[in-house]
Amino acid sequence: METKTATVSVLSSEQLLKHWQGHRNLTRRTIEAFPEKELFTFSVGGMRTFAQLAMEIIDLSNPGILGLVTNVWKDMADLPHHSGVGMPTTKEELLALWDETTKVIDTLWIQMTPERFQESTIAFGQYPGPVYGTLLYFIDNEIHHRGQGYVYLRALGIEPPFFWERP
């Protein structure tokens, strides 16, 4: 199998999956670092709680990965972090959704052809762009909100996990 153009060459699909799941592992440990109560109640500067930020990450990743692979997107308004319907109320529930998402990503990723990354899609029926760009947006959005979770943890006197550790 050949790539379509000579300049499309930074990293492989497998490397990007490993990169994403490495970040997801770190975010999972960030969720775990929160005390149960503060996960659902604490924030800084009137922002959302880390449970809400984590649920946004889950919502983008799954069903997002289905949209990336198949172009079938759910409506953003129906997702738990928007609608409130299906929002977890315990850390255990949140982590279970997280782990389910990890499996869905691994399963659907197999269907991502090398050509797919350069194709166009309209994420959640609203945001047009190339598949690689949408995927990077999901990852970047996760890093962005997790970084905010690190501030919440520091404000609570809790040391966050090491940023560079992505087992």
Nearest distance from residue 96's CB to a copy of itself, in Å?
A: 25
Among 49, 71, 102, 137, binds a copy of itself (CB under 8 A): 137
- Give 84's Cβ-side CA count (13 Å radius): 1
CA dist 50 and 55 (Å) reads 8
Residue 154 interacting with a copy of itself (CB under 8 A): yes
Contact status, residue 156 vs residue 35, Cβ threshold 8 Å? yes
Site stretch for a copy of itself (CB under 8 A), options 1-9, 61-69, 73-81, 91-99:
1-9
Residue 3 interacting with a copy of itself (CB under 8 A): yes
Handedness of CA 33, 55, 25, 45 (dihedral sign): negative
- Give 107's Cβ-side CA count (13 Å radius): 10
CA 139 from chain center: how many Å? 6
**Which residue lies nearer to a copy of itself by CB, 96 or 158?**
158
Nearest distance from residue 114's CB to a copy of itself, in Å?
A: 4
Contact status, residue 121 vs residue 67, Cβ threshold 8 Å? yes
Among 50, 98, 117, 124, binds a copy of itself (CB under 8 A): 117
Nearest distance from residue 92's CB to a copy of itself, in Å?
A: 26
Backbone angle region of 45, left / alpha / beta, with phi > 0 → left and psi within -120 to 50 → alpha: left
String of contacts with a copy of itself for each residue 39-68, x by CB under 8 A: -----xxxx---------------------
Site stretch for a copy of itself (CB under 8 A), options 6-14, 34-42, 72-80, 88-96:
6-14
DSSP 107: H
**Which residue lies nearer to a copy of itself by CB, 103 or 154?**
154
Contacting positions for a copy of itself (CB under 8 A): 1-16, 19, 23, 44-47, 114-115, 117-118, 132-133, 136-137, 140-141, 143-148, 150-157, 163-164
